[in-house]
Amino acid sequence: MASVPDSFQDLFDKQTYAHVATLSDERDPHVTPVWIDYDADDERILINSERGRQKVRNLEADPSVGVSMTDPDDPYRRLSIIGEIDEITTDGARAHIDELARRYTGEAYQTPIETERVLLRIRVDEVVDAQDSG
């Protein structure tokens, strides 16, 4: 198991957008932009979504995931990982989406929730690219 390098953990304190790649049942790639977070104590990347969305359905069938992000202050500074979902949970998901929304928008999550929020916990298996332009 790998971990996010210490020099890149600041990306999770900013309004960093990530792109998450999953595989459909037909093995077609599905890539979607997301808000991103990191649990440094557990060394897990966190993504919050709604049950039933394509990325969640894909990850329920195949836990393999790729995540790529660039520093919003320096687009040449980037981090890409390959990992696996080791948990999909509703525990704390509602509070977490409010926390993310405050970081990204300055207020609690405003979009109506149609099903339920889920927290996707990603184990980092490999850091594929960590480019620090500084």
CATH of span 6-131: 2.30.110.10
Residues 6+ apart with CB under 8 A from 47: 18, 20, 34, 35, 36, 37, 55, 119, 120, 122
Mean pLDDT, to the nearest integer, of 102-121?
91
Spans of all domains in the chain: 6-131
92-101 residue pLDDT tens: 999 999 999 9
12-31 residue pLDDT tens: 999 999 999 999 989 999 99
